[in-house]
Amino acid sequence: MQQRKPSGLLNGWPLVGVAAVAILAAVLAAIAITPDPGEAAARAVRLTARTSVTLFLAAFTAAALFRLWPNAWTRWQRSNRRFLGVAFAFSHGVHLAAIFWMQHVQPVEFAQRVNVITWVGGGLAYVFIAAMTATSFDRTAQMIGPRAWKVLHTVGSYYIWLIFANSYIGRALAMPEYIPAAAIVVLALGLRIAARVARPRAPQPAIAN
């Protein structure tokens, strides 16, 4: 029997639009209730970091989850993997804007937290994000060809995962409240590995209606 998509879930570009509006609304609300500009910028950075890692991991694990547990929900996740990725790119773009804002309103504190390695490592991640987003459209994907597209998106996704892992694991070692987030990031990679080594599932016989 063919599985139906979960009702009430958005698909395709409307998913990106709703995610973008929700992210902007949440950021603006956080800023509105925080009178201090430095704290408002910091809250915007933290908020968009959470939305970014959530959307990224949803795209990063989409194929693995469907292979390990094929059902209507994971089928929706896999079929919308590209749009979850674009929504992540939007969220991380807002995150970058919040970082620059925090640098402007808290230059001394910002300089103490961020070093050259952070700029270079994070900057390369944004280069991958920009390239992956630019090739998330059918025409641009065709222009670079399937082989180059696969290399770009595979290398880029693992590099972005590495940046998130370094950030959350590093924080978890100093602040226990980050342990659950760090564990989820590590679990995401474990799911990818498990799906790769899993034996192919035997084809399921068709069930007549």
Q: For every residue of the chain, which 3-state class applies, written as one string?
A: CCCCCCCCCCCCHHHHHHHHHHHHHHHHHHHHCCCCHHHHHHHHHHHHHHHHHHHHHHHHCHHHHHHHCCCHHHHHHHHCHHHHHHHHHHHHHHHHHHHHHHHHHCHHHHHHHCCHHHHHHHHHHHHHHHHHHHCCCHHHHHHHHHHHHHHHHHHHHHHHHHHHHHHHHHHHHHCHHHHHHHHHHHHHHHHHHHHHHCCCCCCCCCCCC
Q: pLDDT tens digit string along 73-90?
A: 999 999 999 999 999 999
Q: What is the pTM of this model?
A: 0.89
For the chain (209 residues), the mean pLDDT of every run of 10, in chain order, is: 57 96 97 94 96 98 96 96 97 97 91 86 96 95 95 97 95 94 97 87 45
Measured between alpha carbons, how far is 26 from 22 in angstroms, rounded to an integer? Answer: 6
pLDDT at 208: 39
- Res 110: pLDDT: 86
Q: How far apart are CA 135 and CA 143, in angstroms?
A: 9
Q: What is the pLDDT of residues 129-145, one digit of tens each?
A: 999 999 999 999 999 99
Instruction: Please report, for the chain, the start and end positions of each structural domain, with discontinuous segments joined by +.
Output: 13-197
Output the pLDDT for position 207.
39
**Per-residue pLDDT at 115:** 84
